[in-house]
């Protein structure tokens, strides 16, 4: 299999250090790290990832040397480009163009098929048609976009509900089946806007984005008075089934897509949703560097646990500008990783122990993703060391002859015969980009929740977003000229980070700042106090009746 050269991500034959890296010491560190993994070889055995989550999605005619799945190939397309392997990218595009069909009697999960398959096809199409001429002349005639549009049309019956919230499952050939379950998750119906919105922008047909946007707006209208959402709901009645929620499974990508949709499409509506939701998360879920779960109706804590999916949150906070908060949480995830050698699926914070039945590690990418974002934001070499630790653990505990296996129990490191496609689409990709970011130089991408890059294009913006946020700005004077700026435009939080930048000495309001309820800072309860603008910490009400950082004195 030529395209599974993805697993050579750290081979010296394909690593080129970014020219943006100015520190010679850490450039040498990167070279030593990549050379250390020269023993990695392409997989010669079949992938263990089945298509049970997506149904009978298949290639009609398999090439003789191909023993993997269509899903794995689609998931790997953008990784081949990031590696600079244009020859294999072209081969994969040609095979998919000739052999892939969605006209199959297959019940698929809408969310998973959207982020993995539709996202993979749309991203690969954009990479195939950009200005780099990756494919030979005459090879590509929008075949991937044609496939993506065909798939998008097969999604639309799922949105035919009284609420506009889509069913979690749809049959690619026959639409929604009789007696289909009406239960879905917040992520399942609130994380479709990037892929379906991109499809509409590329095809000129607004129906895909309209369906996803209608669902997102309906979901947002179901939030509580605290601006919190639950985890599961009924698409027919619009009623919540599970009121406990957090930033992990079932909700995670909802927050991610609100902010990334604002970046990709320039709609202030997405920013307003995200800002309200983000402040609610910081107020009701955050406890120091950790995030527990809480009841959406009352804000009261329900489950004190860390889940591996929560590790995406520091990466999102980097995009928002909350660097200090991102770093704080990220270090706690790294602590748990080092404690067990990998990141367990669930860790009980109140007991400081593993969950008794969820001790597994399925090669998830979220910690590698946040490590990549934090290194990009800070250039702190400590994050390179974290990446090295992750790579060492993967090679030590999960590498087998046929690829990389999931871990069934992190206390025994017992393996199970399964390799999810997100391992290639995300885990390997973010580790590669951590050590070699040349793909990103002078380019502007967002990554979907499945790690597929989408370019930020001004032509996709209904209205170009301003370089500042109206609800979160101050004035920064440079010489005799005043210009609007904020932590959102400068991508930093807290504002004291500016002290070493060109605006040294000037403080800028933080993206996480929530003003106290009263201008004189008087209060009766903690609820009347906001979030401090200088360090993103929650303020509390003192016995004397004034808001301040009393818990940190």
| Residues 113, 151 contacting (CB under 8 angstroms) | yes
CA atoms within 13 A on the CB side of 543: 0
Q: Which two tokens mark 270?
A: 């997405």
Give the dihedral sign, CA 484/262/248/398.
Answer: negative
Q: Which of 384, 291, 375, 379 lies closest to 329 in space, CA to CA? A: 291
Q: Which residue is catalytic, options 75, 209, 252, 450?
A: 252
Give how far the C-alpha of residue 470 lies from the chain's centroid of Cα atoms, to the nearest Å: 26
Helices (H), 294-365: 313-320, 323-340
Q: CA–CA separation, 263 vs 10, rounded Å?
A: 31
Give how far the C-alpha of residue 355 lies from the chain's centroid of Cα atoms, to the nearest Å: 24
Q: Which two tokens mark 61?
A: 């005619």
Q: Which of 100, 108, 103, 148 lies closest to 124 in space, CA to CA? A: 148
Q: Which residue is catalytic, options 345, 388, 436, 532?
A: 345
Reply yes or no on whether 242 is catalytic: no
Q: CA–CA separation, 311 vs 306, rounded Å?
A: 9
Reply yes or no on whether 366 is catalytic: yes
Q: What is the DSSP string of 389-433?
A: HHHHHIIIIIEETTEEPEEEETTTTEEES---THIIIIIHHHHHH
Reply yes or no on whether 450 is catalytic: no
DSSP state of 335: H
Reply yes or no on whether 133 is catalytic: no
**Tokens 């002859």 belong to which residue?**
401
Q: Which residue is catalytic, options 256, 322, 332, 366?
A: 366
Binding residues: 449
Q: Which helix (H) or strand (E) holds 207?
A: helix 207-221
Q: Which residue is catalytic, options 112, 293, 388, 436?
A: 112
Binding residues for Ca(2+): 449
Catalytic residues: 112, 252, 345, 366
């Amino acid at each position: 299999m030529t395209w599974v050269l993805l697993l050579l991500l750290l081979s010296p034959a394909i690593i080129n250090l970014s020219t943006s890296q100015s520190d010679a010491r850490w450039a040498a560190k990167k070279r030593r790290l990549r050379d250390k993994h020269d023993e990695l070889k392409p997989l010669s055995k079949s992938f263990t990832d089945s298509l049970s989550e997506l149904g009978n999605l298949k290639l009609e005619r398999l090439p003789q040397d191909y023993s993997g799945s269509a899903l794995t190939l689609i998931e790997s397309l953008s990784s081949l480009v990031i590696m600079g392997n244009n020859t294999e990218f072209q081969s994969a595009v040609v095979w998919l163009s000739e052999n892939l069909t969605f006209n199959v009697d297959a019940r698929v999960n809408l969310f998973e098929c959207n982020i993995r398959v539709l996202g993979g096809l749309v991203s690969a199409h954009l990479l195939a048609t950009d200005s780099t001429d990756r494919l030979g002349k005459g090879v590509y005639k929008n075949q991937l976009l044609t496939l993506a549009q065909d798939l998008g049309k097969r999604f639309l019956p799922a949105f035919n509900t009284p609420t506009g919230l889509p069913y979690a499952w749809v049959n690619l050939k026959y639409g929604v089946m009789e007696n289909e379950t009406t239960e879905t998750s917040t992520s399942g119906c609130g994380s479709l806007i990037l892929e379906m919105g991109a499809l509409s922008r590329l095809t000129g047909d607004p129906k895909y984005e309209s369906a996803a946007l209608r669902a997102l707006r309906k979901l947002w209208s179901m939030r509580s008075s605290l601006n919190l959402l639950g985890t599961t709901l009924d698409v027919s009645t619009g009623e919540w089934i599970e009121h406990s929620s957090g930033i992990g499974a079932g909700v995670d990508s909802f927050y991610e897509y609100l902010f990334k949709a604002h970046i990709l499409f320039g709609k202030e509506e997405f920013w307003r949703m995200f800002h309200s939701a983000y402040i609610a998360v910081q107020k009701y879920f955050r406890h120091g560097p950790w995030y527990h779960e809480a009841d959406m109706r009352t804000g009261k804590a329900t489950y004190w646990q860390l889940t591996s999916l929560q590790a995406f949150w520091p990466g999102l906070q980097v995009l928002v500008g909350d660097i200090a908060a991102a770093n704080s949480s990220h270090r706690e995830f790294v602590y748990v990783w080092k404690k067990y050698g990998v990141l367990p699926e669930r860790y009980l914070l109140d007991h400081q122990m593993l969950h008794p039945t969820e001790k597994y590690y399925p090669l998830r990418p979220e910690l590698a993703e946040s490590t990549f974002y934090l290194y990009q934001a800070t250039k702190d070499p400590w994050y390179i060391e974290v990446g090295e630790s992750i790579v060492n653990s993967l090679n030590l505990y999960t590498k087998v002859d046929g690829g990389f296996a999931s871990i069934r129990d992190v206390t025994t490191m017992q393996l199970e015969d399964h390799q999810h496609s997100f391992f290639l689409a995300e885990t390997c990709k973010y580790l590669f980009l951590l050590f070699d970011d040349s793909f990103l130089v002078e380019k502007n991408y967002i990554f979907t929740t499945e790690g597929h890059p989408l370019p930020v294009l001004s032509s996709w913006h209904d209205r170009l977003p301003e370089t500042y946020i109206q609800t979160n700005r101050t004035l920064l004077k440079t010489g005799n000229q005043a210009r609007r700026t904020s932590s959102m435009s400068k991508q930093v939080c807290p504002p004291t980070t500016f002290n070493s930048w060109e605006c040294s000495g000037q403080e800028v309001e933080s993206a996480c700042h929530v003003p106290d309820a009263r201008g004189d800072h008087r209060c009766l309860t903690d609820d009347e106090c906001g979030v401090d603008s200088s360090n993103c910490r929650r303020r509390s009400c003192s016995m004397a009746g004034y808001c301040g950082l009393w818990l940190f004195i």
